[in-house]
């Protein structure tokens, strides 16, 4: 995959970019000022790289946001969650504090997101002033990309910190200190920006500039607008501390769902994207093929020396081996209950959830799969063993982060159409996803769809469940639960299910107490028995497996039980992270964390 080369684009004063002049075919000037940079497409494109550089910094998406936002919930957890007082665990167990050692620094994700926003603001102002976008489609497309990237960052700022300062112009002495803004102000600006951006951007593969998933295109801008509309029209913890819908009539539930429906159906009607086989989606991600027009709609482009996707979210390799030069993976993993939410015929389970790690080997060959523990499962969507290159960095793997895929658009369409037109009209979209999940069991799809379409309410419940099954490991669940006002409900349900699973009660009553396993003839692959409903200890013990182990969430002597560590405070009281102390101290008294009662 062609990786983006990050350009250190100096906005302040728009100093001469001497190292890039020849490569970018710059005008013959001794110094480049704003009017030159933002009237020259080759130079203005450097602004895109400047914004993306902020994504890849150590404490930005790379090592903080992607690993710590989105957990704990009913699908995804921190695999060290039982260390409830550790600052890493506290970022996910709804009990963090303003002095969190992982985040309370001036160069953490909160700062890097605003750095990216400032770079985008400078570029947007420059292009609007000098780019002649009405007569220069290339400059208009660059503007569309930057507007979309700014919306990405604001989307994640709101997800992470709730109501944040709204900055849509470059910082001046008068705007150095700003209070938190009502997120509705930000949502309205972003929805307008993305509508504008979609008008400038081509569809995937419409021209040679949008053949890679690393380049923003019209489909992604419209899909992001749909995602933001559903969030804006949903529930959230507000500045007054209540969890409620917006009171702004421009962001009413009906208007926002209408936008989501429109954008998603236009993407589907374009026929510019397509669903792949479920495993194929993630094999292509790990193989880094990066072609636009398939299922991946846009990816955060990490260079080989940046990004910690497998490092934190992938299948664990205990040692360096034939597949990787770093012994990482598994900081986060699936909530153990998810292993039993999929039916046996659903092909998504074995892609999404891996119950083994890789152990052994001498650094070059010989590692094999070894069963892990019920309290340490892994996301199988990110695997060193599926990569075409060997990761040699000790700190980074360079795998892109798939920010949105076509399946999300289809399920957003199903949700919005059901809300507006009812389940019969929405059914074809949900069925598209279900058909892919059950390629060998069409009768099960038929039975499922008949039950799901009984009413709007049953269809909505089916969507809630389907998004859990489809997106486990993609860190969408927490934001979904918040906008549906189901965060408390689903976490409480997960807590009960975890206790039942450990005690083999409820629907888990007949599961084996142990798993039984053996290594296959290829010397690498482990075969495990005992992970499915209908499996029994009696069969496992008599089936010729060479080893077995107790399959449990912990030990009877542990003082902190797995289910109690899932959340410490009521989740709805701490839907977001606080603004960290270093930023409070530097805000001239303008910032606070009153909604979180910290």
Among residues 131, 104, 126, the alpha carbon closest in space to that of 12 is found at 126
Predicted pLDDT of residue 360: 85
Query: What 3-state DSSP class applies to 150?
Result: helix
**CA end-to-end distance (rounded Å), the chain:** 45
Tokens of 289: 């093929």
> How does DSSP assign 321-383, residue by residue?
-SS-SS----SEEE-GGGGGTS-TT-THHHHHEE-EEEE---SSS--EEEE-BTTB-EETTS-
Among residues 597, 574, 577, 596, the alpha carbon closest in space to that of 487 is found at 574
In angstroms, the CA 358 to CA 597 distance is: 43
Among residues 488, 585, 566, 587, the alpha carbon closest in space to that of 95 is found at 566
In angstroms, the CA 17 to CA 19 distance is: 6
Tokens of 58: 């150590």
H/E segment holding residue 514: strand 514-519
Q: Per the confidence metrics, is the pTM higher than 0.85?
A: yes
Supply the angle between the helices 137-161 and 218-232 in degrees, to the nearest 10.
30
Predicted pLDDT of residue 597: 60
Taking residue 520's Cβ as centre, other Cβ atoms within 10 Å add up to 11
Strand partners, 369: 358
* Residue 521 falls inside a structural domain: yes
* Residue 528 falls inside a structural domain: yes
Low-confidence ranges of the chain (pLDDT < 70): 1-32, 363-364, 597-598
The owner of tokens 């400047």 is 50
* Residue 59 falls inside a structural domain: no
Looking at 504-561, list the stretches that DSSP marks H as alpha helix, in order from N- to C-terminal side.
Answer: 537-542
Predicted pLDDT of residue 596: 73
Looking at 422-561, list the stretches that DSSP marks H as alpha helix, in order from N- to C-terminal side.
Answer: 423-437, 442-452, 456-471, 477-484, 487-503, 537-542
* Residue 407 falls inside a structural domain: no
In angstroms, the CA 297 to CA 145 distance is: 14
Contact at 8 Å (CB) between 366 and 323? Answer: no
Q: pLDDT tens across 180-192, in order?
A: 999 999 999 999 9
* Residue 582 falls inside a structural domain: no
The owner of tokens 């160069």 is 107
In angstroms, the CA 272 to CA 407 distance is: 13
In angstroms, the CA 572 to CA 486 distance is: 9
Contact at 8 Å (CB) between 282 and 349? Answer: no
Could you tell me if residue 86 is left (phi over 0), alpha (psi between -120 and 50 degrees) or otherwise beta? beta
Contact at 8 Å (CB) between 139 and 132? Answer: yes
* CA distance readout (Å), 105 to 85, 154, 581: 19, 20, 8
Among residues 147, 162, 158, the alpha carbon closest in space to that of 222 is found at 147
Task: Tell me which residue range forms the domain holding 517.
Answer: 513-550
* Residue 522 falls inside a structural domain: yes
Contact at 8 Å (CB) between 349 and 380? Answer: no
Q: pLDDT tens across 339-378, in order?
A: 999 999 999 999 999 999 999 877 667 899 999 999 999 9
Predicted pLDDT of residue 4: 34
In angstroms, the CA 546 to CA 516 distance is: 8
* Residue 352 falls inside a structural domain: no
* Residue 155 falls inside a structural domain: no
In angstroms, the CA 32 to CA 39 distance is: 11
In angstroms, the CA 505 to CA 511 distance is: 9
What is the signed CA dihedral for 563, 567, 572, 576, rounded to 10 degrees?
-140
In angstroms, the CA 25 to CA 138 distance is: 16
Task: State how many domains the chain has.
Answer: 1
């Amino acid at each position: 995959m062609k990786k983006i080369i990050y350009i250190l684009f100096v906005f302040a004063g728009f100093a001469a970019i001497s190292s890039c002049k020849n490569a970018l075919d710059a005008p013959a000037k001794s110094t480049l000022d704003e009017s030159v940079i933002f009237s020259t497409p080759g130079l203005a494109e450097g602004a895109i790289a400047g914004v993306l550089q902020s994504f890849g910094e150590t404490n930005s998406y790379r090592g903080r946001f992607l690993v710590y936002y989105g957990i704990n919930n009913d699908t995804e957890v921190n695999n060290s969650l039982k260390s409830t007082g550790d600052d890493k665990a506290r970022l996910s167990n709804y009990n963090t504090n303003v002095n969190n050692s992982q985040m309370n620094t001036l160069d953490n994700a909160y700062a890097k997101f605003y750095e990216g926003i400032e770079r985008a603001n400078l570029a947007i102002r420059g292009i609007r002033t000098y780019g002649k976008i009405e007569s220069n489609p290339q400059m208009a497309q660059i503007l569309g990309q930057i507007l979309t990237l700014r919306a990405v960052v604001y989307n994640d700022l709101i997800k992470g910190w709730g109501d944040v300062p709204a900055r849509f112009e470059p910082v001046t002495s008068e705007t150095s200190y700003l209070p938190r803004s009502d997120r509705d102000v930000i949502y309205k600006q972003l929805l307008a920006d993305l509508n504008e951006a979609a008008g400038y951007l081509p569809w995937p593969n419409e021209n040679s500039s949008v053949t890679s998933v690393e380049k923003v295109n019209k489909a992604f801008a419209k899909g992001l607008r749909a995602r933001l509309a559903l969030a804006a029209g949903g529930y959230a913890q507000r500045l007054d501390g209540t969890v409620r819908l917006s009171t702004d009539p421009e962001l009413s539930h009906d208007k926002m769902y209408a936008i989501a429906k429109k954008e998603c159906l236009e993407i589907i009607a374009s026929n510019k994207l397509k669903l792949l086989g479920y495993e194929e989606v993630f094999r292509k991600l790990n193989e880094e093929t990066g072609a636009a027009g398939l299922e991946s709609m846009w990816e955060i482009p990490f260079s080989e020396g940046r990004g910690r996707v497998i490092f934190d979210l992938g299948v664990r390799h205990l040692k360096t081996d034939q597949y990787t030069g770093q012994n990482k993976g598994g900081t986060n993993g699936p909530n153990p209950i998810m292993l039993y939410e999929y039916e046996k015929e659903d092909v998504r389970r074995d892609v999404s959830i891996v119950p083994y790690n890789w152990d052994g080997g001498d650094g070059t060959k010989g590692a094999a799969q070894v069963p892990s523990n019920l309290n340490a499962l892994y996301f199988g969507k990110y695997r060193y063993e599926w990569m075409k290159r060997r990761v040699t960095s000790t700190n980074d793997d360079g795998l892109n982060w798939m920010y949105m895929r076509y399946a999300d658009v289809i399920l957003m369409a199903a949700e919005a159409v059901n809300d507006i037109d009812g389940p019969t009209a929405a059914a074809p979209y949900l069925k598209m996803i279900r058909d892919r999940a059950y390629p060998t069991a069409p009768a099960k799809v038929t039975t499922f769809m008949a039950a799901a379409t009984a009413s709007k309410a049953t269809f909505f419940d089916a969507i809630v469940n389907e998004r859990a099954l489809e997106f486990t490991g993609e860190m969408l669940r927490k934001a979904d639960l918040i906008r549906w006002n189901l965060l408390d409900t689903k976490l409480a349900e997960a807590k009960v299910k975890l206790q039942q699973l450990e005690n083999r009660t409820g629907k888990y009553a007949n599961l084996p107490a142990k798993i039984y396993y053996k290594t296959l003839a290829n010397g690498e692959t482990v075969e495990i028995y005992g992970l499915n409903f209908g499996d029994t200890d009696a069969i496992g013990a008599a089936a010729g497996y060479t080893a077995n182990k107790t399959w449990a969430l912990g030990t009877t002597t542990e003082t902190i039980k797995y289910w109690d560590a899932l959340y410490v405070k009521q989740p709805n009281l701490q839907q977001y992270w606080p603004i960290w102390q270093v930023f409070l101290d530097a805000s001239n008294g303008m910032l606070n964390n009153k909604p979180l009662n910290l």
